Chains A and B, each alone.
Chain A
């Protein structure tokens, strides 16, 4: 046995794991090899040092921590772990959440310009409410008796909306009286408050934008049903009043929403940026928007309406348009019916008293609705009859 072979057996010798034939051979070699004996002693010493190591001790509280960790979890934590912890479930859930957030952000982003556009357009064009309504048959009765019931309902609804807006948003400052489209030549005439009327500010037309946006999303069938309701009740004033009560309720709700809108930055910049005239808004109007507005606008009647009985209907119409344009306003729409023509115009609030005086000169002006507090700009529907 060589020294190398003998030293390879040192570990087995120490552990008493030598084979039956290995031990005598190793003993014989060690008996004759002093160097291997010294090497064996050093080997024994090294192993003795290792075996002399004191055992390590686990830190205090180790057992308690192990037992606490081994305790079964409550059912809800097991469920949460089962749902959340496995990567095959967790990763798709997280991915779906990210996608969902992205979709929502995208939708909101896409919706915002529409809402803003709707606010701008509906501020001026709400009087188109009358357009989709079927023309009422013209009975041969005298003028006061022939006053359309829906016009009265419109008046009631709008008055209720204005009162609600005034009550809900009293702190809202009214828009500036002077606007860029007000004709410089027209002296700003003060409003004529009715005795007993509170000088409460009126919510500007923009407050109707949220309602427009919301209603535009509703099913067309619903809007058509409302239109049908209106058509059915056009000849029954009593029923019509009940119908309007429902609408008025809606108006209160939307005014509440409007109260918040009034304080929003978008609204606050409305009056100052409303520098372009009504013509500009008409140009901007898209067909789809016009369609959606047609469903919406029945609930947004003009602020002032009335009948103008004139000897020369065409002349009265021309004169009226001229007066409005001279006052810085614009014609919004013109619709002919069996009695005559319905003109819808918009003009600065300050110019309305002067226009009212001019209307009385043009013929017999019979206002059906003229609230004391008017928004700026004010929309006026004039039914010119011959």
Chain B
């Protein structure tokens, strides 16, 4: 039986670190309630409410407050002077279940809504449907066929089927490699956004995701060309303000060492990601990512989530978390041929190693 890397690493860590927090905040309960309602996962909260955004740590204070702004009127994605706070990033295991009808839309694609409605109906009928309930992202592990709205290429569909079948055994994030790309905002640890308008740059720092940071240049520069655009996990990020409410970040120059999500949607180094960041109110961050990867998908698609909540109470400052420390799962992980993924290889004639396949 294959053990999930996520179960061994991220889930375990998240449970250990956040369990008491979540019990008090009720954010997971809210998330579960949202999933039970077809179409709700990516919809904007009704006016005056904070259905997705109000459940994080610090709940009850943020949503009622207006969006903080910098001196020039643009959105302040970080702290206001004199206070502390961090963003509580949700755990989204399957980004396919967050695909909306297009950039700027909050409406899930009709196929997801139909799938959620069917799952809700099945639950109501006692059938215990799996869809929509697993890992905060829903969708079960039905492989590429269960996500017909994803514009697969044959190879990317086949890789996804493979990752589904082995339950994401090879998830690079399970090796404590950086999530990369949009997955940075789907890995369930806290993060902070620090704007430095005087330097025309924005820095994002992450508690999890290998304790990493990313830098967004907001100085009007162009992308490096050719070999100057060195492929990296996080890519090269250039931001601009569409208006004073929306920060648009164009990203390219990704390497191929990451997955889009835990479920194992692949990408290539041809991927370009356009992010749209907004803060509808003080307590809520809305994140949208349009993935354009002509190496893996036949057309672009857009994903969105807005249940990123502002936490002033329980995690007002980022703690240190080192994924690489004591990652014992790697020691017993074996590949499809029975060989250890890490550590000495088996010699010809040796007895196959026992481990997680």
Tell whether A and B belong to one assembly: no
> Contact residues of A with B, CB < 8 Å?
none
